[in-house]
Amino acid sequence: MERIRQTDLAHDARYVFRTNEDKLRVMAAEFPELSSFFDAIHQKCPQNLFRRGPHASAIQAGPLPSYQENASSGFTDVIRRLFEQHGFINLKSDESEKAQKLMLESVEAVIASAVPVWSDYVESQPFQPLMSNSDFLSGHIDLLVVEGGLIWIWKIKTAQTSNRWLHVQLLAYAWMLSKRTGIPLEYFRCGYLDHECCKTFIPWEQHYKELEFYSYMKRDEPREITLALKPRLKEMKSFRGNQSPITALTHPRKVNSLCEHPAFFRLGVKYKEDSSKPQKKSKQISVVRVNNRTSTSPKKPLVPNAKPQPLPKPVPLTKPKTLQEQIASGCLMAFFIVSAIFAFVGFFNDWMMSEKTYVPPQIDQEEIDSIVRIEEPKIKPYASSPPSRSTGNRFASYQAINKMAAVTDVGRVRFGNKYPVIGIRKSATEISLNEIISGETLTVEKYEDPFFAFQWSASDKLMTRINAPLTENILVEVNQEFGLAQLGQSQVALLKLFPKVEPLGVIREEFADIKGFAVNEERSKIAYVRADGNVWLGEKDETEAFALRQMCIDPMSEVMNVGLFSDNKVVIGWTSGEFAIYESSSELPIRVIDSLEEGLTAFAVSPDNSLLVAGYASGLVAIYSLTGPEQLRQIRNEIIDPIFEIVFRGDSEAFAVVTENGEVITFGSSTVRLSTETGVSETERINKLLRSLLQQLKTN
């Protein structure tokens, strides 16, 4: 029988603070301060101080600690087995509480979870550069463990968490818990872990003195505040303190020893709660588990030995007004309100008449006709039906189909929408039409005018080309469907390029400062990378202009590019190989993908938003699943040259990789490769049609 005591905390989010009372009595006998602190939290935990001041999990600072691998191995081995047994692989944020509860009930050394900690300005000496006099540093510890005469502060790493700044969060937790309990820092150890990784370090006092802050976020101001330029991960300094073993302890504590325990609230004065809105009272329950039955024990007194507070001084009453005085006062107030309303309406109308209304940029139709060509290829469309959608695991079935000969110029490739044909920009005036499976060239279309990009029509009957001169004055996005053109001194026009050039909106930005960009399918949002490495996200308003905001990103290295998918998700890729995925409205990433290797050169999201394909300078192709369980496939030895471009087919069943030397390699799922695997299929029938078509082209 184990007694789990829990309290619901209504802080900036919902937390459930839990303690295992039986373990606490036995395991924490050396640290009675923990028991009294936990008891005070269960009885009355402050709320409003967790709604203002720096967020411990959003502070970015150096230097890095001296990490030690796989310390406290008995504890970590049990944790990992539980992770595997309960499917906590690449743990999601909403599963964190479930994992904490499981560890508290199943792991002997765990005594508490979701432990709230805080310190005010005076107590937070190392973090005072981030705070005002009225701010509080605060946070919630995932797991608290007592093992080997030490208190271990553990962070359960989720899939959305980056490893880079976890040491700052853990340092803040150790500092705050030491202040709240009076236990010296020498008895604390910090670490983070997941199903495959475990790193620990000692929070040395000298480390706090050497902290260099780069940025932080406040709970009441959810926007990153930058203090200094963030170095790349490889350039960050490491703290080189006393290289003692992680479990070494200079002065072991004696059982039932007690140092001077500070007041629950510093100086015995309770911090003021905001009385302007009602407080949601914390739910406080003592839970006893006996044969899977739950009972509730009575609450304890709020604070033991609390001194009574003096009553407030009486306020003298004023003489009430007569009825005539009240009527006169009300009439005067009504007169002033009506006068103010009329004045405001008149001013607003004058302002609206004088304000210039935005007019989208106009492009002359003759100019469009001069730069866009819509022509029908010489080959005739052939009757067929597209292959049926793969019902198996498409993620695992992608394989290289063929390599097509290198071209003289960097090739741009586009899959046909209806037939298994791929168009390759063979040169500035040629498009080679190739069959996907065999790579066989059906024909080469030649044009008089040089062109930069092309697109198929929905029926594959027409080919739209953008002439090369246009691209000298615009920035074209990765998919070559949209472009940015300079509009005046400090504005940029977003253009739709196919099937004809159309203006979509305006960005108030210097054209030369934009390095790359992406547009969502609805054409209502744009994300772009500036030359300084910052990423901006914009949403179109009623004036056809984009309202922009800077995204809070971690510059692990140079941003390679940015993408938009599923209408509200942003993916950012760094040259170092890391990826981060954000909801368009969120400040923190919902998923972080660690680097496989340096040298990310291209990436693309599949049209059905299920896959992310990345290409590297080494020729590596990596495929990540964006839906369901997180999966990764690596395809090596198919390509040896740096990857320049990745293009998907419209149904996501095939994609092509273009190398820097112009070689084109196609990859297909089992549906596309069905003919080679079974010998008889719909794809084989299409291949026969293609061979017949090729024969007709040769005889004509």
What confidence tens digit (pLDDT) does each residue in 239-272 have? 877 677 787 777 777 655 554 555 555 433 444 4
CA-based nearest residue to 428, from 465, 479, 483: 465
DSSP state of 164: T
For the segment 60-77, the average pLDDT, to the nearest whole number, is 76
Cβ atoms of residues 655 and 436 within 8 Å? no
What confidence tens digit (pLDDT) does each residue in 499-518 have? 788 888 898 888 888 888 99
What confidence tens digit (pLDDT) does each residue in 632-672 have? 888 876 677 888 889 998 888 889 998 888 888 888 887 77
CA-based nearest residue to 127, from 172, 165, 164: 172
Report the 10 Å Cβ neighbour count for 356.
5
Phi/psi zone of residue 320: left (φ > 0), alpha (ψ -120 to 50 degrees), beta?
Answer: beta
Angle at alpha carbon of residue 251, lines to 247 and 252, rounded to 5°: 65
| pLDDT winner (highest mean) among 342-356, 423-437, 599-613, 631-645 | 599-613
Cis check for the bond before 499: say yes or no (omega within 30 of 0).
yes
HSE, side-chain direction, 13 A CA sphere, residue 487: 21
Q: 304 or 100: whose pLDDT is higher?
A: 100
CA dihedral of residues 277, 278, 281, 282 (deg, nearest 10): -20
Distance of CA 419 to the CA centre of its chain: 37
DSSP state of 406: P
Strand partners, 213: 61
Instruction: Name the percent of the chain in helix, strand, coil, to the closest 5.
Output: 25, 35, 45
Cβ atoms of residues 596 and 603 within 8 Å? no
Q: 5 or 331: whose pLDDT is higher?
A: 5
Residue 682 CA: distances (Å) to CA of 115, 464, 668: 61, 29, 15
pLDDT at position 125 is 93
Report the 10 Å Cβ neighbour count for 269.
8
pLDDT at position 541 is 83
Assign 58 to helix, strand or coil.
helix
pLDDT at position 17 is 94
Alpha helices in 597-681 (DSSP H): 674-678
Angle at alpha carbon of residue 80, lines to 75 and 86, rounded to 5°: 125
On the question of pLDDT at 608 being above 80, the answer is yes
Compute the distance between CA of residue 175 and CA of residue 169 in angstroms, rounded to an integer.
10
Compute the distance between CA of residue 41 and CA of residue 45 in angstroms, rounded to an integer.
5
CA-based nearest residue to 491, from 522, 514, 524: 514
The pTM (predicted TM-score) of the whole model is: 0.49
Compute the distance between CA of residue 148 and CA of residue 142 in angstroms, rounded to an integer.
20
What percentage of the chain exceeds 90 in pLDDT? 16
On the question of pLDDT at 190 being above 90, the answer is yes
Cβ atoms of residues 21 and 106 within 8 Å? no
pLDDT at position 160 is 61
On the question of pLDDT at 696 being above 50, the answer is no
What confidence tens digit (pLDDT) does each residue in 114-126 have? 999 999 999 999 9
